[in-house]
């Protein structure tokens, strides 16, 4: 605990703990690793105190021996809290019995099953039988907006979703209608739940009452494999879990990071994994527009580069390229270096400061740190027209392609020696260039620097399709042809070289230390250290409403043998 924060001693079940001044019993218990079940409380929302699930027995002070809700009882010096006596357990059982009275037992077909707080708490704290014999109430099932489906029978009216729309999105679409067992959540007529963060209401819902329509009846959650990564949709760099089944991305959900995205992400970011399946994706290597094997393409590209002076190699890349890719391109080529950016898009600032950036380039800040202030290809065009360039390497890692200057496109189409690494089957792959398919950001490892100067790692969640290789492999193999880049290593190995070559920007930073929550680089606008960027309010391991970032587990590195006869280490090491 930081020295600046006043600490208070208190007791849970006879054990002494430290709370921060002003903390509730629930917050202090969770931060100290003592789990108290809760539904309506969420660290990013105001206290509602309506679910009563967090009842504990306060054993000291004026409220002694009365069950109190832990989320709205604040720690005082010497407070004694009983979380596990028969009295507390009986109070929890009673609350669960009421919550389950009208709740359908449709877990087998509910998409929340497996990450449902009601299901888990029933298992942990509930009674195995119910005294309720009356007919359960029926409430509506409807789409509240384009992304969110409401199943009223499952709603426990915790109001997390209502408070999120009021207090975070600031759009206020949701409200509680009616009273008592007839109350549920609804939108105001004519005002659908369509704010840019609407998917967060499904993340927050502790039961299966709000579901993301993109995810409904897709995969059982216990079959998913989550990979801790970063969204490539804009320069905010939200921390996400890329959830996959059978080597296919099924959904992308936010991970808590207080230095970046709090607990949230935008709806657009949830959709971006689909660009990896785009019909326009380049899936095979090509030479002169005809498909060839990866080995043949590499041989041809190496031939083009053999013996060429570095100064006569020009480069075009984008604000989607990783720091490691930019570094290798910079090592490979010594001629003009142009960077194309995606045009500005929609921005949105939530009331708690979370921001969807208008800058849709996840690594604009990384470009500046590694390359300074490159232009968007003007110098390259001049050099091409002056006949000063022998080979151009075009690396377009942007899903959907980049809007290059038409004059530059025309010049490249006429150029004799172009090596393209392209995400999409654009004019580049159809021209006489030697073309390699580029990996989608869900298929490769690397780092981006977000708009606040925080370096973060994204990770391969699925295998590469077809003949696609990580750009790091292709660039290092091309580097061998020129002698500019030594042997093939992992993204972590390339980052180590980058940090050594650019000590002012990356010095002292190691790939491992970047970890799952990132690190502020020197001069970053937000210097929040890694240990502070998650609040440690771990929900149960079943819940995704507060996916904890702290449970760092080192995934074994996967060694993928490529048809080119070399391997690159992918994964967290």
Is 155 a binding residue for ligand SF4 by CB under 6 A? The answer is: yes
Is 71 a binding residue for ligand SF4 by CB under 6 A? The answer is: no
Is 437 a binding residue for ligand SF4 by CB under 6 A? The answer is: no
Query: CB of 117: closest distance to ligand FES in angstroms?
Result: 10
* Pick from 61, 58, 1: nearest CA to 31: 1
Is 121 a binding residue for ligand FES by CB under 6 A? The answer is: no
Is 284 a binding residue for ligand FES by CB under 6 A? The answer is: no
Return the number of the residue (37 or 237) whose C-beta is nearest ligand SF4: 237
Return the number of the residue (53 or 240) whose C-beta is nearest ligand FES: 53
Candidate list 91, 185, 408, 499; residue touching ligand SF4; CB under 6 A: 185
Candidate list 39, 263, 516, 537; residue touching ligand FES; CB under 6 A: 39
Is 8 a binding residue for ligand SF4 by CB under 6 A? The answer is: no
Cα–Cα distance between 57 and 89 in angstroms, integer? 10
**Strand pairing report for 7-12 and 80-82:** parallel
Backbone dihedral angles phi then psi of residue 57, each to the nearest 5 degrees: -100, 120
Under DSSP, the state recorded for 544 is S
Backbone dihedral angles phi then psi of residue 185, each to the nearest 5 degrees: -100, 140
Is 356 a binding residue for ligand SF4 by CB under 6 A? The answer is: yes
Strand partners, 446: 458
Query: CB of 257: closest distance to ligand SF4 in angstroms?
Result: 11
* Sheet containing 210-212, strands listed edge to edge, beginning at the edge strand earlier in sequence: 141-143, 148-151, 210-212
Query: CB of 267: closest distance to ligand SF4 in angstroms?
Result: 8
* Pick from 229, 227, 276, 324: nearest CA to 437: 276
Is 266 a binding residue for ligand SF4 by CB under 6 A? The answer is: yes
Cα–Cα distance between 473 and 298 in angstroms, integer? 11
Is 323 a binding residue for ligand FES by CB under 6 A? The answer is: no
157 binds, among ligand SF4, ligand FES, none (CB under 5 to 8 A by kind): ligand SF4
Q: What separation, in Å, do the N-terminal and C-terminal C-alpha atoms of the chain show?
A: 29
Query: CB of 264: closest distance to ligand SF4 in angstroms?
Result: 8
Query: CB of 5: closest distance to ligand SF4 in angstroms?
Result: 30
Cα–Cα distance between 151 and 139 in angstroms, integer? 8
269 binds, among ligand SF4, ligand FES, none (CB under 5 to 8 A by kind): ligand SF4
* Pick from 301, 309, 255: nearest CA to 515: 255
Cα–Cα distance between 445 and 453 in angstroms, integer? 19
Structure tokens at 499: 């940090």
Q: For residues 403 and 345, is the Cβ–Cβ distance under 8 A?
A: no
Question: Contact region for ligand SF4 (CB under 6 A) — 92-100, 264-272, 408-416, 491-499?
Answer: 264-272
Candidate list 43, 49, 291, 400; residue touching ligand FES; CB under 6 A: 49
Question: Tokens 């326009």 belong to which residue?
Answer: 280
Return the number of the residue (45 or 381) whose C-beta is nearest ligand SF4: 45
Return the number of the residue (275 or 490) whose C-beta is nearest ligand SF4: 275
What is the Cα 259 distance to its own chain's centre?
13
Question: Contact region for ligand FES (CB under 6 A) — 36-44, 56-64, 263-271, 326-334?
Answer: 36-44
Question: Contact region for ligand FES (CB under 6 A) — 49-57, 348-356, 424-432, 513-521?
Answer: 49-57
Per-position DSSP letters for 88-141, written without gaps between them = HHHHHHHHHHHHHHS----GGG-TTTTS-HHHHHHHHH--SS----SPPP---E
Is 549 a binding residue for ligand SF4 by CB under 6 A? The answer is: no
Is 91 a binding residue for ligand FES by CB under 6 A? The answer is: no
Determine the 3-state secondary structure of 68 from DSSP.
Answer: strand
266 binds, among ligand FES, ligand SF4, none (CB under 5 to 8 A by kind): ligand SF4
Determine the 3-state secondary structure of 339 from DSSP.
Answer: strand
Cα–Cα distance between 370 and 506 in angstroms, integer? 9
Candidate list 34, 71, 91, 169; residue touching ligand FES; CB under 6 A: 71
Return the number of the residue (12 or 301) whose C-beta is nearest ligand FES: 12
Is 51 a binding residue for ligand FES by CB under 6 A? The answer is: yes
Cα–Cα distance between 258 and 528 in angstroms, integer? 9
Query: CB of 265: closest distance to ligand SF4 in angstroms?
Result: 4
Is 205 a binding residue for ligand SF4 by CB under 6 A? The answer is: yes
Q: For residues 190 and 95, is the Cβ–Cβ distance under 8 A?
A: no
Return the number of the residue (49 or 192) whose C-beta is nearest ligand FES: 49
Question: Contact region for ligand SF4 (CB under 6 A) — 21-29, 54-62, 155-163, 421-429?
Answer: 155-163
44 binds, among ligand FES, ligand SF4, none (CB under 5 to 8 A by kind): none
Query: CB of 44: closest distance to ligand FES in angstroms?
Result: 14
Cα–Cα distance between 274 and 250 in angstroms, integer? 9
Count residues contacting ligand FES (CB under 6 A)?
12
Q: For residues 297 and 289, is the Cβ–Cβ distance under 8 A?
A: no
Question: Tokens 């950036």 belong to which residue?
Answer: 357
Structure tokens at 254: 């936010």
Determine the 3-state secondary structure of 19 from DSSP.
Answer: strand
Radius of gyration of the chain (CA): 27
Is 517 a binding residue for ligand SF4 by CB under 6 A? The answer is: no
Query: CB of 51: closest distance to ligand FES in angstroms?
Result: 3
Is 38 a binding residue for ligand FES by CB under 6 A? The answer is: yes
Question: Contact region for ligand FES (CB under 6 A) — 47-55, 134-142, 231-239, 362-370?
Answer: 47-55
Q: For residues 28 and 75, is the Cβ–Cβ distance under 8 A?
A: yes
**Strand pairing report for 391-396 and 313-318:** parallel
**Binding residues vs ligand FES (CB under 6 A):** 38-41, 49-54, 69, 71
**Binding residues vs ligand SF4 (CB under 6 A):** 155-161, 185, 204-205, 207, 209-210, 231, 233-234, 236-238, 261, 265-266, 268-269, 356-357
């Amino acid at each position: 605990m930081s020295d600046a924060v006043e600490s208070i001693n208190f007791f849970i079940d006879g054990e002494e703990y430290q709370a921060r001044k002003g903390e509730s019993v629930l917050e202090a218990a969770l931060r100290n690793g003592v789990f108290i079940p809760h539904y309506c409380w969420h660290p990013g929302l105001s206290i509602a105190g309506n679910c009563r699930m967090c009842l504990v027995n306060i054993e000291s002070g004026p409220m002694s021996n009365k069950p109190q809700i832990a989320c709205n009882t604040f720690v005082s010096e010497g407070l004694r809290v009983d979380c596990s006596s028969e009295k507390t357990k009986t109070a929890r059982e009673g609350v669960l019995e009421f919550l389950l009275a009208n709740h359908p037992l449709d877990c087998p077909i509910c998409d929340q099953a497996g990450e449902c707080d009601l299901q888990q708490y029933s298992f942990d704290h509930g009674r195995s039988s119910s005294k309720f014999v009356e007919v359960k109430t029926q409430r509506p099932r409807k789409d509240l907006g384009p992304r969110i489906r409401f199943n009223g029978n499952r709603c426990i009216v915790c109001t997390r979703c209502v408070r999120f729309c009021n207090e975070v999105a600031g759009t206020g679409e949701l409200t509680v209608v009616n009273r008592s067992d007839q109350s549920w959540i609804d939108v105001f007529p004519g005002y659908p739940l369509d704010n840019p963060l609407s998917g967060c209401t499904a993340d927050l819902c502790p039961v299966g009452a709000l579901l993301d329509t993109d995810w409904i009846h897709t995969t059982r959650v216990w079959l998913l494999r989550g990979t801790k990564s970063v969204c490539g949709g804009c320069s905010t760099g939200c921390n996400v879990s890329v959830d996959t089944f059978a080597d296919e991305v099924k959904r992308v959900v936010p991970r808590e990071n207080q230095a970046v995205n709090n607990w949230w992400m935008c709806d657009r970011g949830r959709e971006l994994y689909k660009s990896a399946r785009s019909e326009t994706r380049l899936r095979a290597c090509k030479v002169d527009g005809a498909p060839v094997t990866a080995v043949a393409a590499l041989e041809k590209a190496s031939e083009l580069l053999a013996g060429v002076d570095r100064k006569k190699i020009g480069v075009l890349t984008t604000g989607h390229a990783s720091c490691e890719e930019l570094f290798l391109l910079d090592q490979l080529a010594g001629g003009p270096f142009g960077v194309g950016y995606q045009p500005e898009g929609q921005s949105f600032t939530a009331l708690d400061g979370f921001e969807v950036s208008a800058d849709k380039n996840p690594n604009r800040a990384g470009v500046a740190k590694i390359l300074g202030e490159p232009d968007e290809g003007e110098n390259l065009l001049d050099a091409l027209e002056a006949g000063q360039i022998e080979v151009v390497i075009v690396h377009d890692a942007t899903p959907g392609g980049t809007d290059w200057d038409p004059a530059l496109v025309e010049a490249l189409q006429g150029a004799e020696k172009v090596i393209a690494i392209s995400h999409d089957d654009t004019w580049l792959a159809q021209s006489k260039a030697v073309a390699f398919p580029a990996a989608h950001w869900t298929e490769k490892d690397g780092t981006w620097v977000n708009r606040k100067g925080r370096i973060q790692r994204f990770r391969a969640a699925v295998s590469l399709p077809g003949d696609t290789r990580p750009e790091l492999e292709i660039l290092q193999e091309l580097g061998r042809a020129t002698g500019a880049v030594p042997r093939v290593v992992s993204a972590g190995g390339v980052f180590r070289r980058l940090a050594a070559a650019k000590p002012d920007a990356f010095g002292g930073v190691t790939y491992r230390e970047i970890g799952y929550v990132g690190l502020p680089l020197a001069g970053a606008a937000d210097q929040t250290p890694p240990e502070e960027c998650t609040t440690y309010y771990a929900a149960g391991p079943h819940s995704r409403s507060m996916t904890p970032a702290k449970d760092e587990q080192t995934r074994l590195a996967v060694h993928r043998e490529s048809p080119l006869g070399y391997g690159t280490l992918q994964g967290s090491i």
